[in-house]
Structures are given as C-alpha cells and as structure tokens.
Structure 1
Amino acid sequence: MDPESVGGPRRRRAWRLTTRLAVALAVPAVLCASLVAVHVADALALADRKAAAERKTRLVFSATVAAHSLQNERDVAALSSGRTTDDVTKHRNATDEALRDFRAKARAVGGGREFTERLAAVERALDDLPALRREAYGPHSGPVRTQRSYDDIVTPMLALDTELDFGDEQPMAEGWALHALSMEKAALSGQRALLNAALADGGLKADEEAAVRELSGVQQRSLQEFRFLDLGEDRARYDRIVHGAEVGKLLDRVLADRKKAGGVTVQEWHRASTAMIDQIHEVETAAAQRLLNHAAEGKRSAERAAVTGAAVAVLALLAAMAVAVLMARTLVRRLKRVRDAALQVADVQLPYLVQQISDRGGAQPVTLEAAPIDLGVGDEIGDVSRAFDAVFREAVRQTAEQAVLRTSINAMLVALSRRSQGLVHRQLEVITALESTEREPATLAELFRVDHLATRIRRHGENLLVLAGEEPGRRRSEPAPLVDVVRAAAAEVEQYTRIVPVGIPEVAVCGPVTHDITHLLAELLENATQFSRPDTPVQVSAAGAPDGGLALEIHDSGVGIPHEQLDALNSRLARDAAVDMAVTRCMGLYVVSRLASRHGMQVLLRSGHGGTTAEVLLPARLLTFPAPPAPHVPRPSPQPVTPAWAVAEQPPPTQPDPPAPEAAPTVAAGPVPAATGQQVAPSGLPVRVPKAALRPGSAGGAAAGPAGAAPVQADELRQRAASFWHGARRARDPHPPPDTPRPPHRPEPQEEPS
C-alpha cells in the first residue's frame, strides 16, 4: 500500500477544529467567489466592449472630419484648376492635421478581422494622396477623374461608420444612418467640385454633366436611407438646419443650359453649395458626437456596474465569512472552556487528590469535587460538557480509590522490607557469632559467603523501601572521600575484583547522601560486571563537569545495548519512573532512577562497539572539595603510630594465637570471599584490600601476604574478619538505635538488566 494513501487520512484526522471549520467554509466561499468572479468578469468584458466601441466611435468621428477636409481640399482646388494657391495650401494643411489625428486613433483601436481590413483599405487609399494632389485637375486628370480619385479615398473612410457596435443597448442602425448622411454630403461635395471646375472653365462638358446627374441620384438615395434609418433627433435636426432649395435651383439651371450654365457664376454656385454642405456637416458632426457620447456613457456605466458588482459581491462574501468566523469562534471558545476545565481536573485537581491521600497515608478519607464544566447551553457542546462532568466525577472517585490502593501497596512494601530487614539483621548477628568462634579457614570462608548473601538479601529489602518512596533510617554525618565511596560500592558487588578505580579526584561526598550514592553505584557496577566478560575489568573514572560538579563513568567491555533499548533506558532514567509491572524485570533501573531523582543527579547510558558506559553526574552541592594546603611549618618528628585499619587487623591481645600445628587447616580453594579482601579505611567505609594482604593456605585457594611473613592461622583469619565486619558496620552506622541495631548496608543489584 502506498504510504501516502495511509498518511493522508491520518493527517486529516489530526486537523484541529478551526482547520476543519475553515475547510468547511472554504467550499461555499470558493463557490461564491467563483460566481462573483463570473459576474465581475462579465461586467469587465462588457466594460471592455464599451471601451472598444468608444474608441471606434472616436475613430469614426475623426474619419468624418478627415473626409470633410479632403472634400474641401478637392473642391477648393477645382476653383484654381489645379494650381496651388494659398487657399489650396491652407485646406491641404487642415487635411494633413485631420489625417494625423485619424491615424493616431486608428493605432489605438483594436477590432475584428473585418474592421482591420477596412483600416488597411483606408491606409492604402491614403498612400495615393500625395500623387493625387500633384495631378489634380491637370492635363492628365480632368475634373471627373480628380473627383472620382478623391472619392476613392473618402468612401473607405466613411465606410467605417458601418462598423459601429454598441451592444444590445445601441442598435447598429444609427451607424448606418450616419453613413448615409455622410454619403449624401459626399455626393453633394462631388457636384460642387465638378461644377466649380466646369463653371471656372466656361461650360459643362458631357462627361461632367453625366457625373453630376449620377451624383444627384446618389444624393437622393442616401438622403432617403438616412430618413429611413434615423428615427431620432438627427433627422429632425437635418430638417431644421439643412436648406437646399437654392442649390437645387442653381443645379437645375446649369443642367438645363449645359453650354452657358444657365447664367450661373462659379462664385454663386460655390457659395450656395458650400453653405449646404456645411449645414449637412453640422448635422453629421452632431450625430457623430451623439454616438460618441453614447459610447462614452456606455463605457462608464459598464465600468461602474463592474466595480459596484464586484464590491457588493466581495462585501457580501466578507459578511458571510465574518458571520461564519463568529459562529466558529463561539464553538471553539466553548470547546476551549471544556478543554481548560478538563485539563484543570487532570493536571491540578486529580494530582492534588493523590498527593493529599499519599500525605495522609490513606488513613483519612479525602474528598474533592471536580470543577463544574457544564456551560449552561442546550446544544451539542453543552451535552458534551455535561457528559464530561459525569466522567470527571467518576475519574475523581476512581483516582481516590487508586491513590488509596497505591498508598496501601507502598505501606505493605515498607512493612515487608522492615520485617525482612529485621530477620536479615538477626541472621547477620548469628553469622557474626559463628565467625567469631570459628577457627577452620574453609568453614570461615563459607561463613563469609553466607554473610555476603545475607547482605544481598538485605539490599533487596532496601530496594523495596526505595520503590515505596521511603528513605533509609541510617544517615552519615561526616563527609566521605569519593574514592572510598566507589570502593564501598565495589565491595557490595559479587565480582568486586574486576572493578578498577582510575583517576578518582580527592573530593568528598556529603555525609547524608553517602548511603544513596553508594547504593546507586553498586547497582550500576553490578550490571557492568554481570553483562560483560568475566576476564575483563570494569573501570570507574571521574572528571569535572561544566556546572562545577563531577562526572563518574563506569565502563565495561560488554557487547553493548541496542539503540532502541538504550533510548528507552535513558528515558526511564531521566525521570522518577512510576512503579509498574516492569519493575519485576529491571528493579535496579527503577532504584537508580529513584535515587538519582531524589538528589538531583543525572544518569546516562552510552553504548558502542567497545562496551557500555554509565555516566553519573554529581551536582556540586553533594560534594565537598578539599581546602588549599596550608604552608609547611617544620615540626619535630612524631612517634610512629599504628594506623586504625592495621590495629583492626591485629588479633585481640587477650586471645593470643595458639601455636600453629604442622598441618594447619587452610582456606578452601575458590573465589576469595568479600570480607577477606576488605579493610576499614580512615573514612570509616569498607574498602577492598589487595590479595597480597592474605597468606596462601595449603589448598592454594587463599590470597598471599608479604614475602617472608608468618602464615595466617585460622584464629587470626577469624579475628581479622570479625574486626573488619564490625568496623565496617560501626563506620556505616555511626549512631544505630540502641534497641533495634541495623544491619550493614550492602545494596545488591538485580539479576535482570536495568
């Protein structure tokens, strides 16, 4: 299975309520936003079409002005028979200005394929204008040809009127009406050009007469189309402004007498026709301006509609989102109240209840009411809060029962430990009595082993005290050197001969914590010796810590610990682990964690290919550092004084050793018992004595003393052992209770790995 397909739903199930509400609101929000976007897009598209229509209308208006200028230029040039006069130059300059404005507007206008083709046709026609101006009314271009050549330029420009499109609000008929009006004016302008040239030449030729009659027909048809297409104010303005009666009479007179032109002069004809053309151009300009105003207003209306629609849609969407967020915040706030109340019960009230029961030892009942969580609302969240009330009340009751049960278990563990300690103490007294009277080395060695086993049993009882949260009854008041503490811990380990202290600094451990530190080190040393090869040493070293304390390292040469198990062990050592079923498998680990937590120490396990290292960080407040040495002052030589431990090793003077028989019994072969390898240091802690302090027996199983020394007899061995054990107990228990003497402290680690 694809891991992403599994991880995705799990990640979604971990979403917070606010995220879920946001996702739930995002769907309608996106739907509304899409509808708003469509509406805004339509409004913007309409605004774009209106803007394009406005640009086209401006171009049409500019084309109308340019066409009117071309017509005036042509008609004025006819008066001078093609000669370039000041009047002709003036009109040509006006035409050039109008054409520049037309080209500028044409570049800003975009349109469809047909409109683009019309603009291209206009540009091609305008390309012939310079040549047309040079040949106008010349020998090779008579009046009719010149008039038609100008019409070839004007007609494409006037055809742009038919491309006007204002959408549904403005029908295209008004563009065609403007085109018809422009064509009527163009026909009248053509008649003016032909008659200007003919009357200036003295008469009307046949081709010129035919062209004038043809243009009269075009004028009449265009006027009819204009009146048919335009039903608005443009036709009324035309009827009010345009007066063509005089032009019609003059044209009839000229056509009636072609050779003499009916007595009509060129000035008379030009004045009358120009007046009528100007009137028509006034109507044309008004119509184009009206269309331009309509296009501009349509553009502004479309833009306002787009902005207004978008603003209203966005405001409505924001209002909906605000209402949704307000409702979501209300739900989340209620849920947070339920959560805070639940955490108050779980983190404060229930632990307080357990603490109260633990402090009172379960003897007195403790009642604690859970803080009410009922929100007082009738919705589903209110139902959940009331359900939590019931759950918390039951949790408080169960917690009280569990706390009483836990206190009872701890009390039972303490009682069992105290009873077993009493029995072990009595057993040790019996063993001590047997040791004091036994003279056989082999039997004495076995008694020492039994003593060691009893001490291990007693440490099991002390482990129960530690797990139950009790502290040992013994306390040491004087500081003890750290090296003696390490040796004392090593003396409580079965394979003590493998433990090698290396580089232990001259610092002392505060008296009240000596017992617990020795217990902790003994547990770690026992593990190191049990889970490493029996022929390898276990090194104990110390170095300064950054915080001013001391770091003790216990290193063995075992196979190491797997990474996953090492992380679990360090996690349990880092806190005061609660007692559970795992304590039966690794009681030493729980004891170490409890002792380290009690005094603020830190224990860390590291493992590699070279074995496992247990690091114990001792805070500076648990240590006593030596004072700087005083200046040397010469003093008289003192008398030799026998050390305390040497006096302890000597037999009592009241019981001299009997003469050694020829075949005195010797210590049996096997491992040297712990007591035969220990002595009492000046600090009062039992430390290990080198094997050379003991003499070999006949069986070859005991240690040897200095070369040349007399053999150690059974009674001497017994006296030394008794002196060591009693001295060790007096040193470890400086103030034992007179009625209940406590056994010596030799904590025993667990057999399981910790």
Structure 2
Amino acid sequence: MRFRGKSIRRKIVALLLVPLVSLSALWGFSTYLTGRQANELMNVANIVKKVGYPIEDTVRVIQQERRQTLVYLADERPSDALASLRSRRAATDTAVAAIRAAARDSGVRSDLQPIAKDHLKAVLDGFDSLAVLRGSVEQGTVDRPQALDFYNRLIDPCYSFLMNLHALENVEMDKQGRALVGITRAREMLSREDALVASSLITPKTTAPELRRISDLVANRQLLYDTNLEMLPSSERDVFEQYWRGPDTEALRTAEAAIVDAGPGKEPRHLDATRWQQAATPVLDRLAQLGTEAGNRYQDRVEPVAFNVVIKAALAGVLGLLALLVSLFMSVRIGRELVRDLTRLRKEAHEVSGVRLPSVMRRLAAGEQVDVETEAPRLDYERDEVGQVGQALNTLQRAAVEAAVKQADMRRGVSEVFVNLARRNQVLLHRQLTLLDTMERRTEDTDELADLFRLDHLTTRMRRHA
C-alpha cells in the first residue's frame, strides 16, 4: 500500500488504524472463544435438563420393562403376567413421549452438537422399533436372549448420548462426568444380569450360554467400576467401594456365587426367583440413588468451574472493550496532538517562505530598516522530534533574515562609499571650474582661451557624471 501524495492526517490515521484494528480483532476473537465456551456450557446445561435427565429416567423404566418381558417369556402362565408387562410398557411409553417432545424442541435441536444429534437420532430410532418387539413377544416369535439383546441395543445409544454431553474445557471435570456415566453403565450390567437371572430361575434349568452370559455381565460390571471409579475423587470412590464391600450387597454376591458354582443345568442351592429379587432389587435401587447423589455432588463441583467460565467470558468482553476504548481514546488524542504539531509546523514554514522572507526582501530592497528579532522571533517548541524540526526551521529563518539584513547593510555601505567619492569629486571639479573661470578671465590669448573653454566644458561634463 502506497501513501505517497496523501495528507499527513491520512497517514497518521492509517498508522494508528492498524494497531486499533488488530486490537479489535484480538478482542473480538477472545470474546468469541470465551463467549462460545460459556454459551456451549449453558446449552449443555439446558440439554441435560430437558433431555439428559429424562433419558436416564427412561433407561430405568426400560430396564424394568426388559426384566418383566424376560420373565413373561420364561413363563406366561401367571394370570397377571401380561397385565404387569403392559403396565411396564405404559410407563415406558410415557417416558419415551417426554423425550420425543423435548427432541422436537427447536431450542434443544439448535443447542445440540452434530455428534450429539446423531446419538439422539439413534435413541429415537430405537424407540420406534419397540412396537415390533412387543408384538413379537406377545406372539411368542422371539426368545429371551433375543429380547435381551434387543433391549440392550435400545439402551446402549442412550449411554452414548449421555457420554457426549460435555462442554467443559477442564479435563478433570470432563473425566469425572464421563466416569459417572460409566458407573451408570455398570448398574446397567447388573440390571441385565437381574433380568436374565430372574427369568432363568423360572425356567426348568439355567443353560450353559446363559451362565456364561451371567459371568460375563458380572465381569463387565466389575471392570466398569474399576475403570471409572479411578477417575472420581477419593470421597466418591470410597462410597461405591464401601457399599459393594458392605453387608447390603452380601446377599447379591452370595447369590451370584451360588449361580456360578451350581453350573449349567443345575438349580442353585437355596436360591429361587423370589430370593434373587429380594437380593438384587434393593441393590439396583440403592445404586440408582448413589448415582443420583454422585451426580448432584458432581454438579456442585462443576458449578464453580462453570461460573469461572462465565466470569472469564464476561471479563474478556468487558475488559477487552475497556482496553479497546482506552486505546482508541489515546490513539485519537495522540494522533490529534501529532497532527496539530505538524500542522503548526507546516503553517509556520509556509508563513516564513511565502510571507515573511519576501516581505523582508521587499523592505530591504526599498531601503527600510528591518529588525531581526521582530521579523524572526525566537519560537518555543517541545523537546520531541517535531519540536526539534520546528526549532531548526526557526533557526534557518533567523539565519536567512540575518543574512539578508547583513547583505542589505553591506550594499548600503558600498553605496555610501560611492556617494562619498562622487561628492568629493564634485567638490574638486567645482574648485577646478572656479579656477578655470579665473584663468579664462585673465588670458587674452585666443588659442589658450579656446583650450580653456574646452577644458571647462570637459570638467563640467565630469561634474555632471559625478
């Protein structure tokens, strides 16, 4: 970019505009980043409230429907079996309807990230196939393992959706949030085991595939606890570890050991469906309560972090704006002072070159007396670079005026010398004419008189020239 030929004001404005634009861009970028982070945090809080918590509740009612479905498939003879199953289905339909209503909310859809939208779509697509499964269950065209797998595929996308609901830049808090979802999945492993064991105890015998699946569910549950509890604070970790080592879970652990020790095809000693329910249901309820309490405590830990994000966004916006306004004010002030100094310097330079020096030269040419202090006064400038240039111009102006005055004085002196010489010559020639006039009166020789007249004429001409 070339500014040749532009005014000094434009050049200074362009010079100051570059850092101001850069500062404005940096302020806008930092405000956008922090504001986006705060906005995402608020969006996720809204999504968790409208979709996240309802999905957790829906998972729990689906778990109950799954258990009742497997019990129904194991034995359809009880008169209330189908009625109990349909009651569970009605509860599931109510929960699913709430999720569908929240998913249709335009605000929720706009707040969801693309990956979260995909997981939510997978959840809703799974809910769409519930009617087909229920029809197959009532028609008897699906067995217990198939029904269990179907419900598992229905619940897994729910946990994937919950796993991706995070917007904290704090890595530790993000890990803890994912760990809480992992602990909830560990409870899901127990719920699957509960449905499978409760239905298998109704059947004549537990098959080898069922027993292997039960063992796998127990192992997966333990693995999920071991993996996710490590990412939680020690206080949270101790709550779950002490519960599983305590007397409240002893009946469940004893029942699991009895099932595994009995082997396939054999009934576990002193264990039936009723005792299993008495051992498993309190543990499932307590784990749900512990998960809710842990989630509440996690929210208490997250709130200061979220508050810091909001404060950081506000400070970035307000302080950045204040810095921008102060920079703008200082730039305008400094630019105006610089333009004013340069304008004054330009005005004085033009006045010297176009007004004062020509006027001084005309007056000196006319023979007038010129005072240097009046025509070129000593001006005071600042000590900065512009002031130094002004001082140099003032010195140059005084030097030019002084030189012109000295030159005029010298010419005047030379003129006076010549005038003095001319006057002396006139005096001498006048005396010479007087002498010639006396000699003309005395002589009587015609030739000499003619010469004297010619000499008188030449002297008169010399006096006139002087």
TM-score bracket relative to the smaller structure: 0.5 to 0.7
Q: Which amino acid aligns with 1:309?
A: A
CA contact (8 A) 1:178 1:284 kept: yes
Q: Which residue of 1 aligns with 2:204?
A: 205
After TM superposition, give the deviation of residue 375 of structure 1 in Å.
1.9
Q: Measure, in 1, the Cα distance between the counterparts of 2:104 and 2:206.
A: 39
Q: How many residues were matched structurally?
A: 385
- The superposition leaves residues 326-367 of structure 1 with CA deviations (integer Å, 9 ceiling, x where unpaired) of 333333333444455567778987899899x79xx9687576
After TM superposition, give the deviation of residue 85 of structure 1 in Å.
6.8
Q: Measure, in 2, the Cα distance between the counterparts of 1:179 and 1:130.
A: 28
Among 55, 63, 76, which residue is 1:71 paired with? 63
Q: Aligned in 2, Cα 1:390/1:219: closer, same or farther, shift over 3 Å?
A: same
Q: Aligned in 2, Cα 1:118/1:335: closer, same or farther, shift over 3 Å?
A: closer
After TM superposition, give the deviation of residue 15 of structure 1 in Å.
2.7
- The superposition leaves residues 80-132 of structure 1 with CA deviations (integer Å, 9 ceiling, x where unpaired) of 423357843652344324533674587442234xx665444433322211222
Among 283, 286, 308, which residue is 1:276 paired with? 283
CA contact (8 A) 1:254 1:262 kept: no
- Which SS does the other structure have where 1:204 is aligned? coil
After TM superposition, give the deviation of residue 71 of structure 1 in Å.
0.8
Q: Which residue of 1 aligns with 2:237?
A: 235
Q: Which amino acid aligns with 1:375?
A: D
Q: Measure, in 1, the Cα distance between the counterparts of 2:361 and 2:11.
A: 38
Q: Which residue of 1 aligns with 2:220?
A: 221
Q: Which residue of 1 aligns with 2:14?
A: 23
Among 329, 332, 354, which residue is 2:339 paired with? 332
Q: Measure, in 2, the Cα distance between the counterparts of 1:63 and 1:258.
A: 38
Q: Which residue of 1 aligns with 2:158?
A: 157
After TM superposition, give the deviation of residue 153 of structure 1 in Å.
1.0
Q: Measure, in 1, the Cα distance between the counterparts of 2:132 and 2:271.
A: 35
Q: Which amino acid aligns with 2:141?
A: H
Q: Aligned in 2, Cα 1:260/1:16: closer, same or farther, shift over 3 Å?
A: closer
Q: Measure, in 1, the Cα distance between the counterparts of 2:175 and 2:349.
A: 78
CA contact (8 A) 1:184 1:218 kept: no
Q: Which amino acid aligns with 1:230?
A: L
TM-score, structure 2 as length reference: 0.63
- The superposition leaves residues 594-618 of structure 1 with CA deviations (integer Å, 9 ceiling, x where unpaired) of xxxxxxxxxxxxxxxxxxxxxxxxx
Larger proportion of helix: 2
TM-score, structure 1 as length reference: 0.42
Q: Aligned in 2, Cα 1:228/1:380: closer, same or farther, shift over 3 Å?
A: closer
Q: Which residue of 2 aligns with 1:147?
A: 148
After TM superposition, give the deviation of residue 23 of structure 1 in Å.
2.1
Q: Is 1:130–2:128 an aligned residue pair? A: no
Q: Is 1:379–2:384 an aligned residue pair? A: yes
Q: Aligned in 2, Cα 1:104/1:287: closer, same or farther, shift over 3 Å?
A: farther
Q: Measure, in 2, the Cα distance between the counterparts of 1:251 and 1:54.
A: 39
Considering Cα pairs closer than 8 Å and 6+ residues apart, tell me whether 1 or 2 has the greater RCO.
2
After TM superposition, give the deviation of residue 221 of structure 1 in Å.
2.7
After TM superposition, give the deviation of residue 277 of structure 1 in Å.
0.8
Q: Aligned in 2, Cα 1:282/1:223: closer, same or farther, shift over 3 Å?
A: farther
CA contact (8 A) 1:53 1:164 kept: yes
Q: Which residue of 2 aligns with 1:88?
A: 88
1:478-627 alignment runs, 5 A limit = none
- The superposition leaves residues 672-722 of structure 1 with CA deviations (integer Å, 9 ceiling, x where unpaired) of xxxxxxxxxxxxxxxxxxxxxxxxxxxxxxxxxxxxxxxxxxxxxxxxxxx
Q: Aligned in 2, Cα 1:294/1:392: closer, same or farther, shift over 3 Å?
A: same
Q: Is 1:100–2:100 an aligned residue pair? A: yes
Q: Which amino acid aligns with 1:82?
A: L
After TM superposition, give the deviation of residue 184 of structure 1 in Å.
3.0
Q: Is 1:109–2:112 an aligned residue pair? A: yes
Q: Measure, in 2, the Cα distance between the counterparts of 1:248 and 1:367.
A: 117
1:4-15 alignment runs, 5 A limit = 12-15=3-6
Q: Measure, in 2, the Cα distance between the counterparts of 1:98 and 1:258.
A: 44
Larger proportion of strand: 1
Q: Which moved more, 1:256-265 or 1:80-89?
A: 256-265
Q: Measure, in 2, the Cα distance between the counterparts of 1:41 and 1:321.
A: 21
Q: Measure, in 1, the Cα distance between the counterparts of 2:395 and 2:178.
A: 86
After TM superposition, give the deviation of residue 226 of structure 1 in Å.
1.4
After TM superposition, give the deviation of residue 187 of structure 1 in Å.
3.0
Q: Measure, in 1, the Cα distance between the counterparts of 2:278 and 2:102.
A: 28
- The superposition leaves residues 386-427 of structure 1 with CA deviations (integer Å, 9 ceiling, x where unpaired) of 44445555469969x99xxxxxxxxxxxxxxxxxxxxxxxxx
CA contact (8 A) 1:81 1:137 kept: no
CA contact (8 A) 2:206 2:266 kept: no
Q: Aligned in 2, Cα 1:283/1:101: closer, same or farther, shift over 3 Å?
A: farther
Q: Measure, in 2, the Cα distance between the counterparts of 1:48 and 1:260.
A: 56
Q: Measure, in 1, the Cα distance between the counterparts of 2:19 and 2:179.
A: 50
After TM superposition, give the deviation of residue 258 of structure 1 in Å.
5.9
Q: Which residue of 1 aligns with 2:427?
A: none
Q: Measure, in 2, the Cα distance between the counterparts of 1:60 and 1:334.
A: 66
Q: Aligned in 2, Cα 1:260/1:19: closer, same or farther, shift over 3 Å?
A: closer
CA contact (8 A) 1:56 1:109 kept: yes
Unaligned 5+ segments in structure 2 are 73-79, 409-466
Q: Aligned in 2, Cα 1:352/1:219: closer, same or farther, shift over 3 Å?
A: same
Q: Aligned in 2, Cα 1:209/1:279: closer, same or farther, shift over 3 Å?
A: farther
Q: Which amino acid aligns with 2:16?
A: L
Q: Aligned in 2, Cα 1:15/1:396: closer, same or farther, shift over 3 Å?
A: farther
* Rg (Cα) greater in structure: 1
